[in-house]
Structure 1
Amino acid sequence: MSNHVLDTVMESAERIAALGPANEELGRLDDRAVKVMREAGVIRLLQPKTYGGFEAHPREFAETVMKIAALDGSTGWVAGVVGVHPWEMAMADGRVQDEVWGEDPDTWIASPYAPMGVLRPVDGGYVFNGRWQFSSGTDHCRWIFLGGMLGDAEGKAIMPPTQFHVILPRSSYEIVDDSWDVVGLKGTGSKDIVVTDAFVPDYRVLPFAKVSDGSAAREAGLTNTLYHVPFSQAFPLGITAAVIGTAEGALAHHLAYQRNRTQITGTKIKDDPHVLYAVSEASAEISASRTALIDNICRFYDQAEAGRRSTFEERAAGRRVQVQAAWRAVRAVDEIVGRSGGNGMRMSSPIQRFWRDAHMGLVHAIHVPGAVFHASALTNLGVEPPMGPMRSMI
């Protein structure tokens, strides 16, 4: 059962936390951290039961990601990003599901979904080319989802673009080493991917429009409510959960550090009302972020359970909640880090790593508030947002 996944993870909590520096040093997850997640079945939470998955409620998925990220931001991030891919794979052609999971249900699938490749139609499928950034956890994955656009006979993208999610085995793409040199989430190993003239059978290509509007799940005959939650709510869930969990980890380390700390003035932190106020306020903000994210996904799940498709206005509001939850949590981390003193910023202190990881997670494209907030505000005013970027990922 899926509850067992989190229980198993927490049995190895100290080991996951202790591997944080090693993940950062390696620039990818340490194999020992991956082993813990595989044995616990973390990445199978949203996987179909027919292939050894748990088909868990998305709330359980989010809570598991948060717990892992509170132990180590990079490990939680990979759990959240890689963990959502089985959800979409459930909508793919049965032939590619067999190829991915037939022999090993613990096969991990990477991404990214950004449409940075072009599909040139040929007999039986496509020839695919492109380069992508930010393939989190990719060293530990044997398949990948890559975003692509339909091209013409010369391999040039046709405008306006028609987007696809393209599924490739490890033999069809290159991972670019030394392409992940960043300030935070170093352990995610989110490296570049290059595809050169790879043949892709047509059954390994999913039209993004069908994934986005829910028709892919319906056409696949999926009956579990899990797979009828909107993509625009399911995909960001693991990413934002990782950011909030990282904020919870920062808070935990801050509290442990401050518990017996005496400031240079001779005042103990437990006697400083200003610091105590900031700690309490930050705790409340991070807790509110967690509650908002979980309540949000539960509402969309309940809608799907009732057989009702969500409106654009509802999805825009849902994305607004998700984006704001991430920003609220990271702002709270800034408040407590600003009161951690110089010693709290030593590289030997985990506080600074969680702080960097939280900010790196916040800059992911799904946390950019501009278009999301704009679209949501227009719908509140009863104005339909124009087609184009303002509706992207809503």
Structure 2
Amino acid sequence: MSSARAMYPALRARQRRCAEERKVPDETIDELEAAGLFNVTKPREFGGFEMPYYVFCELVMEIAKGCPSSGWVYAVIGEHNQTVGAYYTGSAMQDVWGSDPSARIASGNAPDLKVNRADGGWLLNGQLRFSSGCDHCDWHVTVGKVDGKPTKFVFRRGDSEIIDTWQVMGLEGTGSRDVELKDVYLPDHCASPADFFGPKFRDAPIFRQPQWSTNPYSLASAIVGAAQGALDMFIDDIRERTPRMGGKFRIGELQSIQMRIAESSAEIDAARRMLLDNLLETHEFLLTHDELPREVMARNRRDMAYAPILAKRSVDRIFYASGATSIYLSNDLQRYYRDINAGAQQIFLNWDANSTIYGKVALGLDPGQVRW
């Protein structure tokens, strides 16, 4: 945790450059690597620490506090290390990390992915979308269908082309571009059924947690960490500021400002505790049980969508109070504001979908076909 906190000044200093270049700076990736932070969720046999997911998500919050886009990419790459550790045999992991323990894995959504049988494996054709951090990754995971059943694939990107589609209003620095796959080959051992628990090959709780009800907490954590960064910046700025149109008082002396700070900090603290406490409970339960109860998974889905709502509210409140100068692109507060709102659009964090799942389970109704 101290290594992540020590990166804060450099992350803040690079935040604008990260957005303008629309990718996380190479030196940020190098520093995350040097600090061992990419190893947190990696299997031990390949140099990883197999630390609990709540520890990883707290690290995500610390990185996102300094730079939301960097925190988001760290969340994505770390989550993919967990995915490969959970869903694949040692043969697939040997392919990924055997010759390069520092290999990083991106992903992408490919609803029209074409999957065809090849000699001893599969050929993939299609276009991955929203491939966060793809500039820094040589491997990818995605989901396609084999005989109508969702299947996870992990493969080397190789000569696949990165297409610069990432022209967006927030989280520009994540570089979540498209990746075009043309006859990308992977062996059979790099394909795995994508059922909600999946074939588990390791005992650590981090590799047995239900993916759709737990893994997106890393993205929610990036949003909550960014909200804390925005609040810290607002407090530092407003503490000594005086009215620009004249006046002999400090704006921080206004009761309305003090109330906004209090309410926003309460929302951020609540969101943070909500995420970390749920993950701690999940970890401790899986130490002695094989699966989470459906009620807990529904609660987890509810809260991973509600925490970003609290983060958004907290930053909306202080952004309004920060005045007209906050709209300049040179002001980092507007970047926090845009990044948080962009991150909350992520499909796994959608409140409408996740809240209705929880409501149905709470009422004893059939939630339907849910990917837990």
* Aligned-partner Cα distance in 1 for 2:288–2:110: 32
Counterpart Cα distance in 2 of 1:31 and 1:269: 39
Q: What is the match of residue 205 of structure 2?
A: 225
Aligned pair partner of 1:170 in 145, 153, 157 = 157
Partner of 1:254: 234
Q: Which amino acid in the other structure matches residue 141 of structure 1?
A: C
| Secondary structure of the structure 1 residue equivalent to 2:216 | helix
Equivalent pairs: percent with the same residue? 30
Work out whether 1:147 is the aligned partner of 2:143. Answer: yes
Q: Distance in 1 between matches of 2:309 and 2:338?
A: 14
- Structure 2: which amino acid aligns with 1:168? F
3-state secondary structure, aligned to 1:171 = coil
Q: Please list, as runs of the form range in 1=range in 2, the aligned pairs for 1:65-104 lying within 5 A after superposition.
A: 65-91=60-86, 92-104=88-100
Confirm whether residue 280 of structure 1 aligns to residue 262 of structure 2: yes
- Write the distance in 2 (CA, Å) between the matches of 1:310 and 1:14: 39
Q: Which amino acid aligns with 2:93?
A: Q
Give 1:202's match in structure 2, choosing from 188, 213, 235: 188
Instruction: Give how far 1:182 is off.
Output: 0.5
Do the aligned partners of 2:214 and 2:301 also contact (CA within 8 Å) in 1? no
Q: Deviations over 1:70-93 (max 9, x none)?
A: 000011001111111111111312
In the alignment, is the contact (CA less than 8 A) between 2:20 and 2:173 conserved in 1? yes
Give structure 2 stretches of 5+ with no counterpart: none
2:337 pairs with 1:350? no
Displacement of 1:114 in angstroms is 5.1
CA distance in 2, matches of 1:252, 1:27: 24
Residue in 2 aligned with 1:238? Answer: 218
Q: Partners in 2 of 1:299 and 1:37 — Cα distance? A: 28
Q: Alignment partner of 2:24: what SS?
A: coil
What is the CA-CA distance between 1:13 and the residue it aligns to?
A: 2.3
Is the Cα contact below 8 Å between 2:140 and 2:157 reproduced in 1?
yes
Runs of at least 4 residues off by over 6 Å: none
User: Which of 331, 335, 358 is residue 376 of structure 1 equivalent to?
Assistant: 358
Q: Does 1:187 align with 2:173?
A: yes
- Indicate the residue corresponding to 2:48 in structure 1: 53
Q: Find the residue that maps to 1:53 and give its secondary structure.
A: coil
Amino acid at match of 2:302: R
SS of residue in 2 equivalent to 1:197 = strand
Q: Verify the 8 A CA contact 1:9 1:36 in the aligned structure 2.
A: no
Deviation string 1:209-254 (CA, Å, 9 cap, x unpaired) is 1xx22x411xx2x121221122123320211110000111111111
Of 224-233 and 68-77, more deviation after overlay is shown by: 224-233
Which stretch of the first structure deviates more once superposed, 280-289 or 198-207? Answer: 198-207
Structure 1 unmatched runs, 5+: 1-5, 151-157
* 8 Å Cα contact 1:80-1:237 kept in structure 2: no
**2:213/2:298 contact within 8 Å kept:** no
Question: How many corresponding residue pairs?
Answer: 369
Contact 1:115 / 1:148 at 8 angstroms: preserved in 2? yes
C-alpha distance in structure 2 between counterparts of 1:18 and 1:280, whole Å: 27
The answer (yes or no) to whether the contact 1:286–1:329 under 8 Å persists in 2 is yes
In 1: Cα distance, 2:317 partner to 2:46 partner: 45
The residue matched to 1:110 in structure 2 has which SS?
A: strand
Equivalent position to 1:303, from 279, 285, 288:
285
How far the C-alpha of 1:358 sits from its partner, in A, is 0.6
Structure 1 residue 330: Cα displacement: 1.1
Q: Distance in 1 between matches of 2:268 and 2:283?
A: 23
Residue aligned with 1:74, SS: helix
Q: Is the 8 A contact 1:41 1:106 kept in 2?
A: no
Q: Cα distance, 1:112 vs. partner?
A: 2.1
TM-score (normalised: structure 1): 0.90
Decide whether the 8 Å contact of 2:110 with 2:127 is kept in 1. Answer: no
Instruction: Give the Cα separation in 2 of the matches to 1:141 and 1:196.
Output: 18
Contact 1:115 1:146 in 2 (8 A): no
Specify the alignment match of 2:342 in structure 1: 360
* 1:8 paired residue number: 3
Give TM-score, length-normalised by structure 2.
0.95
Which residue in 2 is equivalent to 1:153? none
